Structure formats: structure tokens, C-alpha cells
């Protein structure tokens, strides 16, 4: 029995077997993590489903995290999803994100339908709530422009 263990031990440290084991492990990692990554469009569809499921459960934190992942894919977001992001951000208390998402929705949405009408109604409220943050950003940009002009 002891001799069998020693034989297996020698076999594992044999050069050919060691390389085969190493290559098999690397191949498995390659397949599991890199080569079979889904296309961004498919990942976006999966994230849309996560967003809808999270919002059905009123879990805006999870929905907003999924929206962040969606944006990172650099895939064009459909207008209805922009509208959902605005409402989720508003529910989470992020007035600037809500305003920016609603504004993006209004720029690309067809000028008809229930969501468009609701967005027009919400826009003044979202803009007013985001105004202090928008003013800060505008002042910071003006300050940076002054500094750049001096330098």
C-alpha cells in the first residue's frame, strides 16, 4: 500500500503529467471565466429582468445596482428602462440621478404614451429637487474653467 502511494506521488511529479494537469486546470478556468462570457446585449437583457424583479419587490437598492451594471455595459438603454431608473432613483432619495435619468428619457422617448405624460408631470418636481446639486456642479465647473484659464 505504501508503495502505491509512492508510485502515485512520483507519477504526479513526473513532468508530462504535471503539465497535463496544469493545462487542464488552465483550460477549465479559461472556459469558466473568459471564453464563454455572454455578449453585452444578452447581459443587458438579464439585467433588465433583474431590474424588473427588484422593482416588483420594491427593492430599489438592488434595482439601482443593476442599473449601474447596465450602464457599465455601454449598451443603449431603451427609454422605458430610463424612466424606471428615474423612478427608482427618486424612491431611493437620489434626486440628481432621478432628474438626469428622467431628462435622458424625455430626450429620446416618443412624445406619446403614459410614461411620457407621467414624465412631463414629474419633470418640474425632479428638477426642483436636483437644483441645489446642479448649481453646485455648475459652480465647480466654472471654478475649474477659471483655474484652467490661469494655468
CB 121 within 8 A of CB 87: no
**pLDDT tens for each residue of 18-37:** 655 544 554 444 444 544 59
Distance, in Å, from the CA atom of 80 to the CA atom of 94, rounded to the nearest integer, reads: 19
Which tens digit of pLDDT belongs to each residue from 130-143? 999 999 989 999 89
In this prediction, residue 35 carries a pLDDT of 42
pLDDT < 70 regions, the chain: 1-36
Packing angle between helix 79-92 and helix 114-150, nearest 10 degrees?
70
Amino acid at each position: 500500500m505504501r508503495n502505491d502511494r509512492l508510485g502515485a506521488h512520483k507519477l504526479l511529479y513526473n513532468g508530462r503529467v504535471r503539465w497535463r494537469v496544469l493545462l487542464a486546470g488552465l483550460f477549465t478556468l479559461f472556459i469558466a471565466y473568459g471564453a464563454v462570457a455572454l455578449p453585452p446585449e444578452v447581459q443587458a437583457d438579464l439585467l433588465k429582468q433583474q431590474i424588473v424583479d427588484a422593482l416588483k419587490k420594491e427593492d430599489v437598492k438592488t434595482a439601482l445596482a443593476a442599473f449601474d451594471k447596465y450602464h457599465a455595459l455601454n449598451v443603449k438603454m431603451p427609454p422605458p428602462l430610463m424612466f424606471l431608473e428615474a423612478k427608482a432613483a427618486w424612491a431611493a432619495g437620489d434626486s440628481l440621478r432621478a432628474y438626469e435619468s428622467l431628462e435622458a428619457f424625455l430626450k429620446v422617448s416618443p412624445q406619446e404614451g403614459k410614461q411620457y405624460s407621467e414624465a412631463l408631470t414629474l419633470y418640474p418636481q425632479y428638477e426642483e429637487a436636483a437644483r441645489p446639486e446642479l448649481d453646485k456642479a455648475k459652480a465647480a465647473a466654472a471654478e475649474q474653467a477659471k483655474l484652467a484659464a490661469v494655468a
